[in-house]
Amino acid sequence: MTHYAPSEKRYDSMKYNRCGRTGLKLPAISLGLWHNFGGVDTLENCRSMIWRAFDLGITHFDLANNYGPPPGSAEENFGRILRDDLRPFRDELIISSKAGYLMWPGPYGEWGSRKYMLASLDQSLKRMDLEYVDIFYHHRPDPETPLEESMGALDTAVRSGKALYAGISNYPHDLTRKAQQILRGLGTPCIIHQPVYNMFNRWVESDLLRTLDEEGIGCIPFSPLAQGLLTNKYLNGIPQDSRAGKPHGFLRPHHITDEKIAKVRRLDEMARTRGQTLAQMALAWILRHPQITSALIGANSTAQVDDAVGALKNLAFSGDELQTIEKILAGN
């Protein structure tokens, strides 16, 4: 196996943004291991994407207990790559994990109890062979568990040294504010929120971004490319190796409507006039908000990692360009 030596120029061109009102900076592009890093995927492809990401200055790798498939296998694969290649660079990495979705059978295998969250964190650390994660998230709100209990578990994770920072994911704006009040009272403020956000799913714009700004919480949207819809991948049908073409993906063929593809075609034409790929323009569009710390990409090849980082060469939009995007998305 080839010995990995990271590029000495890895910090030369990446942009790093402060996460909320903390001392932590994250790369403008982070790599998520939700898809394409599980047991059903090729380890060497996983390895090459992580190597390439770090060479380009991507220091943040985002995981969760259930990422795979099968659940847990993304953390196991990442742990193997970390052990083989990246162990000397642990202090240059931000590694996150989460607990909230179904991970094991029975009443303690999902949601937001203290029992589940802290057991899940211990399992994640074991799978990745880590002493701590940099960020530990509650992955989704639990309607049946007191918020104080779930946030107390995050506080315990940080105070025990098993996580450095606490985060939340998929929380609406009102619960986000309550969660921050609880965590701040405990002395372990929430530093980051991970919501879904892209051109086709803009729910964060109504209240959440303002709440995050007021509460000093950073934002790292997942699915900024709508799981590949906001790329040129589906312009001519559904490729067999795409997320929509795989039986275990979350993007299904019925999500790819003629109406959406018509919009994607127009957006693709506009991106070309900016000297960008559609994916690059979609990422730049997300990063235009000052509240956005990082855009969390997925990838199935090193070329996709390269393309995403290329978005940082042109993050500016004119007023006319933003208006044109609004018209396209509205179907006008």
pLDDT tens for 74-83 read 999 999 999 9
Amino acid 256: pLDDT:
77
| pLDDT at 251 (0 to 100) | 55
For β-strands 218-219 and 190-194, DSSP reports them as: parallel
Beta-bridged to residue 168, according to DSSP, are: 138, 193
**What local confidence, expressed as pLDDT, does residue 245 receive?**
47
How many separate domains does the chain show? 1
Residue 181, token pair as written in the block: 């009040």
Average pLDDT over residues 10-36: 97
Please tell me the distance from the alpha carbon of residue 267 to that of residue 215, in angstroms, as a whole number.
34
Q: What is the DSSP letter of 4?
A: P
Q: Which residues contact 290 (CB under 8 A, 6 or more apart)?
A: 213
Cα-atom radius of gyration of the chain, to the nearest Å? 19
Collapsing DSSP to helix, strand or coil, 3 comes out as coil
CA angle 317/279/78 to nearest 5° reads: 125
pLDDT at residue 144 tops 60? yes
Say which residue the tokens 């590949």 belong to: 228
Mean pLDDT across the chain, nearest whole number?
Answer: 94
Tell me, yes or no, whether 328 lies in a domain. Answer: no
> What's the confidence (pLDDT) of residue 235?
80
Q: How many CB atoms lie within 10 A of CB 76?
A: 18
Encoded tokens for 79? 């742990």
Is 134 a residue whose pLDDT tops 80? yes
> Of 189, 143, 267, nearest to 20 (Cα)?
189
Is 29 domain-assigned? Answer: yes
Query: Between the CA of residue 49 and those of 33, 239, 251, 305, what are the distances in Å?
Result: 10, 20, 21, 7
CB environment 120-158: b (16+ within 10 A), e (fewer): bbebbbebbebebbbbbbbbbbbeebebeebbbbbbbbb
Does any domain span residue 271? Answer: no
The backbone torsions φ and ψ at residue 194, rounded to the nearest 5 degrees and listed phi first, read: -120, 95
Q: Label residue 319 by pLDDT band (50, 70, 90).
A: very high
- CATH code of the domain covering residue 174: 3.20.20.100
The residue segments making up the domain with residue 71 are 16-257+288-313
- Per DSSP bridges, beta strands 16-18 and 25-27 are antiparallel
What is the predicted pLDDT for the residue at 239? 54
The reported pTM is: 0.94
- Tens of pLDDT, residue by residue over 158-181, are 999 999 999 999 999 999 999 999
**Helices first, then strands: H and E counts in the chain:** 10, 10
Nearby residues of 263 by Cβ (< 8 Å), 6 or more positions away: 328, 329, 331
Q: Could you give the angle at which helices 114-128 and 73-81 cross, rounded to 10 degrees?
A: 40
Confidence of residue 142 (pLDDT cuts 50, 70, 90): very high
In a domain, 270, yes or no: no
* 3-state SS track over 200-267: CECHHHCCHHHHHHHHCCEECCECCCHHHCCCCCCCCCCCCCCCCCCCCCCCCHHHCCHHHHHHHHHH
Residue 81 within a domain? yes
Closest CA to 308 of 318, 296, 316: 296
Residue 281 lies in a domain: no
- What pLDDT was estimated at residue 233? 81
pLDDT digits (tens, 9 = 90+) for 170-212: 999 999 999 999 999 999 999 999 999 999 999 999 999 999 9
Q: How many residues does the chain have?
A: 332
Regarding predicted confidence, which is higher, 248 or 268? Answer: 268
In a domain, 26, yes or no: yes
Does residue 252 carry a pLDDT above 80? no
Give the tens place of pLDDT for each residue, 297-316. Answer: 999 999 999 999 999 999 99
C-alpha 85 chain-centroid distance:
22
In a domain, 153, yes or no: yes
